[in-house]
Amino acid sequence: MELLCAIFCNKMNNIPVVNLADFASGDPQLKQSFVNQLGKAYEEVGFVAVSNHGIPDALITDLYKEVEQFFSLSAGEKEKYKKPELAGQRGYTSFGTEHAKGYDAPDLKEFFQFGQEADADPINGQYPSNVHVDEIPEFTPTLLKAYKAFEHSGSSLLQAIALFLDLDEHYFDQFVHYGNSILRAIYYPPITEEPRSAIRAEQHEDINLITLLVGASADGLQILSMQGNWVPVTSLPGQIVVNVGDMLQRLTNNRLRSTTHRVVNPPKEKWGTPRYSIPFFLHPRSDMNLACLDNCITDANPKAYSDCTAGEYLDERLREIGLKQ
């Protein structure tokens, strides 16, 4: 009970806090404790805050600086980097284009997506090229550094998840090596008039295996608790928030939960404040089989999903959220 309280009762965060350094410590007890804490959190909450995550503070600062510069460009300048034929998977997507699954109203955001660069791997031909922003020379190099840092930390977290699921520690390695992950820079503009809704981004679940999110520039993220309550989530300095996505929920036959979350408008006195958020959506290679793991199927928990690959599932979801026709 004391351990559970230490994990779950951080009132500043409202979500469990785990220390990734424990997993890499070389101490078997610390490593196993981390695995247990992470798995328990993902079974019961779906979100954790991760300290000692390995993404340098200076890199995060540079990342937000470059992202703010990009969204400060004129509408015409940003439109040059729009690639609708890529279904929003690379480059710029304008305000009001994407909506949550099951909702027609668009989210109040615009975003820029940066993907895998796998020059040394034959899979490179499967991925579209990243879009380079001419006006900001350090934009692409900074996004690439951040992408690789997120990818490394995310791979470590998946190794811990594999152990919790009684799989080989490196089960996910082959699937996420040069995987189809996305770094998304999101901009929620200031609110200039009475909004139709209190929601900036409607409730949804992420598509991918796990999502890593460095602290947003303003509050607003909320998760739906198991009790049906909306709980605000704020990562403290030195932490990132990491949540389970639908692909991992599907693979584990609902053992690990993909938690519903949303972004709400700030109080009226803060309407003039923009919000920046930079999630890293960790995707596997498109040919990964998402069929439910045998050890997650029981009489009490029968198989809930039909078999499909990660690529097939991604394609289905991109159509559902309006990015692909």
Lowest mean pLDDT among 122-131, 190-199, 231-240: 190-199
Using CA atoms, how far residue 255 sits from 121, 165, 192, 206, 227, in Å, is 33, 9, 43, 16, 17
Pick the CATH number of 49-320 from 3.30.1050.10, 2.60.120.330, 1.20.59.10, 3.40.47.10: 2.60.120.330
Q: What is the 3-state secondary structure (H, E, C) of 102-152?
A: CCCCCCCCEEEEEECCCCCCHHHHHCCCCCCCCCCCCHHHHHHHHHHHHHH
What per-residue confidence (pLDDT) applies to 275?
A: 87
- Residue 176 structure tokens: 């996420």
∠ CA 224-251-282 to the nearest 5 degrees?
A: 70
With bands split at pLDDT 50, 70 and 90, how would you rate the model's confidence at 14? low
What per-residue confidence (pLDDT) applies to 98?
A: 62
What per-residue confidence (pLDDT) applies to 1?
A: 29
**Mean pLDDT over all residues of the chain?**
87
State the pairing for strand pair 47-51/17-19. parallel
Q: What gap in Å lies between CA 7 and CA 9, rounded to an integer?
A: 6
Amino acid at 147: Y
pLDDT of 2 > 60? The answer is no
- Average pLDDT value for residue range 122-145: 90
- Average pLDDT value for residue range 253-273: 87
∠ CA 218-220-223 to the nearest 5 degrees?
A: 140
Collapsed DSSP state (helix, strand, coil) of residue 260: coil
pTM greater than 0.85 (yes/no): yes
Q: What gap in Å lies between CA 89 and CA 230, rounded to an integer?
A: 29
- Residue 316 structure tokens: 């289905």
For the residues of 269-305, what is the DSSP string, one character each?
GGTT--EEEEEEEE---TT-B-PPPGGG--SSS---S
Return all residues near 96 (Cβ < 8 A) that are at least 6 apart: 106, 107, 108, 110
Which of these, 214, 213, 231, lies nearest to 222 by C-alpha position? 231
Q: What gap in Å lies between CA 271 and CA 216, rounded to an integer?
A: 16
Q: Where are the beta strands (DSSP E) in 26-100?
A: 47-51, 91-93
Return all residues near 102 (Cβ < 8 A) that are at least 6 apart: 320
